[in-house]
Structure 1
Amino acid sequence: MTDVAIRPAQPGELRVVEDLLREASAWLASRGIDQWQFPPHRDRITQALRRGEVFLATTDGLPMATLQLDDHADPEFWTTEDKPGDALYVHRMAVSRKFAGSGVGGTLLNWALERAATAGKPWLRLDAWKDNHGLHRYYESQGFTLVRVIDLPHRGSGALFQRPTVR
């Protein structure tokens, strides 16, 4: 594995984050997976950048991957019974194809898990595209458990995963 540095993305790096997301979207589309029509929620990404919730994984200054990490539990997915405040949430994680298979995704998820633990949260959570079963298997291989699948007709996402911060 290449040395990975993880740092907050700066508001002026919107293009870098978008390029990583655009590349991931194109790769998914090439595999017949209709996920992440780009640009996804540009206004939300811009606001998250300003709040310091978007992160970049880099090596030798080159962007490898991005993710957003925050305490926003999507109310269409996470119910009061789930205790939404008990977790940090991963959104919009994308790894450059140049670094696919290098372990940077797992590194980012472990880093996010440590941040959740440090924040006193018992869970790291995310939602994934409902019918991207390869992605589900990936998250399970990273220690996440499928909580449930929420099938809302207006949402492509809805497979809910969580991982405990303490084992």
Structure 2
Amino acid sequence: MLIRKALIEDLNNIMNIIANAINDMESKGIYQWDNTYPNEKIFSNDIFKNNLYLYVDKNIIHGIIVLNEHQEDEYESLKWKYISGNHLIVHRLCVDPKYQGKGVAKDLMKFAEKYAKENNYESIRLDAFSQNERACKLYENFGYNKVGIVTFRKGDFYCFEKRLIKYGS
């Protein structure tokens, strides 16, 4: 298993994983993603900006995560606890349904936290669809605290944050 940056050649496989995830979520009554979001253009841009990471095992992509500093405008309305320093934002964490329940999402979140610490981020922020209980539980189990709710096109999303203890402190 390794986590590496995505390449443009990975895009078709990424889009297949997203299609599988959308079908899986919809079968569970979770209407979080669709053909509008996230789309191929968004992932191409993530790859171009070197923000998209892949969880790869035996040359098969099992999951993805996007890490950058982009915060949606809706985040400004929230009362974040950690406001000093830089904040790493997690976007579009997705595990191919074939590989769910095997720790892929946990490994991607561990990677995000290690990356954030190594790059001196004060905290990690993210949002999760309020109806996606599995995702919300993952973040809570990792020690993320709910800050508030923002509303995007598909409904309410819980916003979470976690302060990072920097190496050497």
Q: CA deviation at 1:71?
A: 0.8
Q: Which residue of 1 aligns with 2:24?
A: 27
Q: What whole-Å deviation, never above 9, does each CA across 1:31-64 have from its counterpart, x for those lacking one?
A: 0111101352332221111111111101111111
For 1:92 and 1:86, the matched residues in 2 are separated by 20
Alpha carbons 1:21, 1:38 under 8 Å: kept: no
Out of 22-31 and 125-134, give the one that drifted further: 125-134
Shift of 1:158: 2.5
Q: After the TM superposition, which residues 16-165 of structure 1 pair with which residues of structure 2 at under 5 Å, given as runs?
A: 16-38=13-35, 40-79=38-77, 82=80, 83=83, 86-151=86-151, 154-165=153-164
Residue 73 of structure 1 contacts residue 84 of structure 1 at CA under 8 Å; is this kept in 2? Answer: no
| C-alpha spacing 1:71/1:27, structure 2 compared with 1 (3 Å) | same
AA aligned opposite 1:51: K
Q: Deviations over 1:57-114 (max 9, x none)?
A: 0111111101111111112124586438621111111111222111111110010111
Q: Which runs of 5+ in 1 are unaligned?
A: none
Q: CA 1:85 to 1:73, structure 2 compared with 1: closer, same or farther past 3 Å?
A: farther
Scaled by the length of structure 2, the TM-score of the pair is: 0.86
Give the Cα–Cα distance (whole angstroms) in 1 for the partners of residues 124 and 154 of structure 2. 21
Residue identity opposite 2:155 in structure 1: G
User: CA shift at 1:164, angstroms?
Assistant: 2.1
Give the secondary structure class of the aligned counterpart of 1:63: strand
**Percent of residue pairs bearing the same amino acid type:** 24
Is the Cα–Cα contact under 8 Å of residues 17 and 96 in structure 2 kept in the other structure?
yes
Distance 1:80 1:143, change over 3 A: closer
Unaligned runs of 5+ in 2: none
Contact 1:88 1:125 in 2 (8 A): yes
Letter in 2 for 1:15: N
Distance 1:98 1:86, change over 3 A: same
* Count of residues in correspondence between the two structures: 163
- Using the TM superposition, give the Cα deviation of residue 138 of structure 1 relative to its aligned residue in structure 2, in angstroms: 2.1
Structure 1 outlier segments of 4+, above 2 Å:
78-86, 130-135, 154-158
